[in-house]
Amino acid sequence: MVRKTRLVWAASAIAAATPMLWYSAMQWQRPSRISVPQAELFEGITYERQIQNQPWPQVIHVVEIDLTQPNLKVLTSPGNPGDDGLETIAQTTSDFVVRNNLHLAVNANFFYPFDEKTPWNFYPRTGDRTNVLGIAVANGEGYSPPETEWPALCFDAANRAEVTAVDGICPPGTQQAISGIQHLLWAGRPVPIETEDRAYARVMAAVDEKGDRLWLVVVDGKQPNYSEGATLAQLTEIALSLGADAAINLDGGGSTTLVRDTADGPVLLNAPVHTKLPMRERPVANHLGFRIAD
């Protein structure tokens, strides 16, 4: 009887410790809090990791893309509208990279439905139906209409990028497009922030005045002592420091995911947090990806 009690106690202790061990192991998989100088990932695509400790810990990832590269292909997640009124099928950013033979991708639009209660009780899962908020265009086919006062990032057939005004309507001939929730920078000037501005995991897209250069800025968040995120004002300062002309705020929080391709498969460049678990990717409604043709 005593031996059985001890076995039950030991099993209970192991069961209680398992989530903590799992969480600790995932923490160790995060990118190091060591700055990485700008280096070329692929032809015309560079990456830099910046570390800040004040006013709080931040890990900032900056991708710069030369949109004039003749072998560059830009791709938004294709739509899949159905009778249910929803527009896409959720997938992780890594899955998007693999399925479309891409070199780099980031999550894009805000979306719904979404729910996150526990690590095992959340929506959407991979393969679930989702709806994109704001305009979305893939390969010249629009599948989500613009939202009033939401800006868009639009690419023409030559990959030239343009951030739209607040109506979120892309110009004729747009081949790929995603939407953000607000402008951070417009005509080289900061846009007043009228919403609550707190440190959070963030994704920003910024372009130069000619539309020949794109920056993707990803700031990890919700991870004390590692990276607590950035405010919108801080994102705006980053956009200004890059020399951007316009910048928009994309979906952040647990959706924040930046992935590159390698010979061994997709690799997370940042540390996403889905269902409060670091390095766990969230299936999202759509993405923005890039491929350098051979």
The confidence score (pLDDT) of residue 168 equals 86
- Is there a single domain that holds both residue 153 and residue 10? no
Res. 274: pLDDT tops 60: yes
- Mean pLDDT over the full length of the chain: 93
- Is there a single domain that holds both residue 14 and residue 66? no
Q: What's the average model confidence in pLDDT over 30-42?
A: 96
Tokens of 31: 């990118």
- Is there a single domain that holds both residue 113 and residue 13? no
Res. 190: pLDDT tops 80: yes
Question: How far, in Å, CA of 102 to CA of 100, rounded?
Answer: 5
| CA-to-CA dists, residue 276 to 119, 128, 249, 279, angstroms | 7, 20, 22, 9
Q: For 44-98, what is each residue's pLDDT tens digit?
A: 999 999 999 999 999 999 999 999 999 999 999 999 999 999 999 999 999 999 9
Q: For 170-182, what is each residue's pLDDT tens digit?
A: 999 999 999 999 9
- Is there a single domain that holds both residue 12 and residue 157? no
Q: For 10-26, what is each residue's pLDDT tens digit?
A: 444 444 445 555 566 78
- Residue 283 or residue 20, greater confidence: 283
Print the domain residue range for 26: 1-30
Tokens of 12: 């209970």
Question: How far, in Å, CA of 64 to CA of 47, rounded?
Answer: 7
The confidence score (pLDDT) of residue 19 equals 55
- Quick one: the chain helix, strand, coil %, rounded to 5? 15, 40, 45
Q: For 131-171, what is each residue's pLDDT tens digit?
A: 999 999 999 999 999 998 999 999 999 999 999 998 889 99
Yes or no: say if 164 and 154 are a contact pair by the CB < 8 Å rule.
Answer: yes
- Is there a single domain that holds both residue 154 and residue 196? yes
- Is there a single domain that holds both residue 270 and residue 283? yes
- Is there a single domain that holds both residue 64 and residue 169? yes
Strand duo 202-207 + 246-250: pairing? antiparallel
Question: How far, in Å, CA of 64 to CA of 241, rounded?
Answer: 13
Percent of the chain predicted with pLDDT > 70: 92
Domain count, the chain: 2
Q: For 245-255, what is each residue's pLDDT tens digit?
A: 999 999 999 99
- Is there a single domain that holds both residue 6 and residue 68? no
DSSP state of 227: B
The confidence score (pLDDT) of residue 25 equals 74
Percent of the chain predicted with pLDDT > 90: 87
Tokens of 92: 């992780």
- Is there a single domain that holds both residue 25 and residue 56? no
- Is there a single domain that holds both residue 45 and residue 9? no
What 3-state class would DSSP assign to 37? strand
- Is there a single domain that holds both residue 91 and residue 6? no
Res. 30: pLDDT tops 90: yes
- Is there a single domain that holds both residue 262 and residue 168? yes
Q: What's the average model confidence in pLDDT over 122-131?
A: 98
Q: For 193-250, what is each residue's pLDDT tens digit?
A: 988 899 999 999 999 999 999 999 999 999 999 999 999 999 999 999 999 999 999 9
What 3-state class would DSSP assign to 171? coil
The confidence score (pLDDT) of residue 17 equals 47
| CA-to-CA dists, residue 118 to 23, 68, 89, 122, 275, angstroms | 14, 44, 22, 7, 6
Q: Classify residue 144 as left (phi > 0), alpha (psi -120 to 50) or beta.
A: beta
